[in-house]
Amino acid sequence: MLIRHADPDRDAAACLAIYAPFVTDSPATFESVPPPVSDFAARIEHYSHTHAFLVAEEDGTVVGYAYACPHRERAAYRWTAETSVYIDADHHGRGIGTALYEQLLALLRAQGMRTALGGVTLPNDASVALHRRCGFVQIGVFPNVGWKGSAWRDVAWLACDLNPAADHQPGPPPEPGPAPRL
C-alpha cells in the first residue's frame, strides 16, 4: 500500500466514489447529496494548502483517504485540526484507516498542530475504535445534532493531543506551518 498526498485532478473522482455511499446510504456524514467532482477537487486543493489530504493506493487504485482541515476560523484555533477518514467498503478492516491516520497525525505534528479532533456519528463502533487506536480519547457527545436516515443522530467528539510537551513550554506556540511532503 502506498500513502501519498492527494492530487486534486488525479484523485478527486476516486475519493468521491468512496465518499458518495457514505453520503447516500449512511449517517456517517451529514451531507445529504454527494458533491460534484469539481467541488471535491476544490476541497482537496484547499485542505492540502492549509493542512493535509492523503490517499491510500493499492495496485494504483485509491482505496481510502484521510484529511485534516481547520477546526474553526478564529485565530486561537489555528493549532487545532479536524480530521476525517473514509475507506472503500471492500477494503474495511485491513488497517488502511489506521495507516492513513498515522501518516496524517505525523504530518500535523510536523506542522506544529497541537490537537486533532474527530467527530463520529453514533453508533459507529469501528470509527470510534479506529480513533482510539490512533491515540484519540472521547471528550464528549453532541446529542441529537443531525437528522439523517430518518433519525436524530448524536456525534461523539474525540481528541488527540499531538504535542503533550507543549503544556510545559514557555511563551506562545510557534505558528503552524504548511504540511511537509511525504
pLDDT tens-digit map of 18-42: 999 999 999 999 999 999 999 999 9
Q: Does residue 9 belong to any structural domain of this protein?
A: yes
**How many structural domains is the chain composed of?**
1
Confidence band, pLDDT 50/70/90 cuts, at residue 66: very high
Q: Mean pLDDT, to the nearest integer, of 132-146?
A: 97
Find residue 53's DSSP bridge partners. Answer: 67
Residue 174: how many CA atoms within 13 Å on its side-chain side?
8
Cis peptide before 21 (omega within 30 of 0): no
In terms of Cα–Cα distance, which of 1, 3, 43 is closest to 19? 43
Q: What are the φ and ψ backbone dihedral angles of 159, each rounded to 5 degrees?
A: -130, 145
Residue 123 has pLDDT above 70, yes or no: yes
Q: Does residue 180 belong to any structural domain of this protein?
A: no
Q: What are the φ and ψ backbone dihedral angles of 161, each rounded to 5 degrees?
A: -80, 110
CATH at residue 93: 3.40.630.30
Q: Mean pLDDT, to the nearest integer, of 144-152?
A: 96
Type and span of the H or E element at 44: helix 37-50
Q: Does residue 174 belong to any structural domain of this protein?
A: no
Confidence band, pLDDT 50/70/90 cuts, at residue 175: confident
CA distance 63 to 1: 9
Task: Catalogue the E-assigned strands of the chain.
Answer: 2-5, 52-58, 61-70, 80-87, 115-121, 137-148, 151-161
Confidence band, pLDDT 50/70/90 cuts, at residue 139: very high
Residues of the domain holding 158:
2-168
Q: Helix (H, G, I), strand (E, B), or coil: what is residue 45?
A: helix
Q: Does residue 46 belong to any structural domain of this protein?
A: yes
Report residue 146 as a C-alpha cell: 443531525
Residue 173 has pLDDT above 90, yes or no: no
Confidence band, pLDDT 50/70/90 cuts, at residue 170: low
Helices (H) and strands (E) in the chain, counts: 4, 7
The reported pLDDT for the residue numbered 90 is 95
Residue that is written with C-alpha cell 474553526 in the block: 72
Q: Does residue 177 belong to any structural domain of this protein?
A: no
Q: Mean pLDDT, the chain, as a whole number?
A: 94
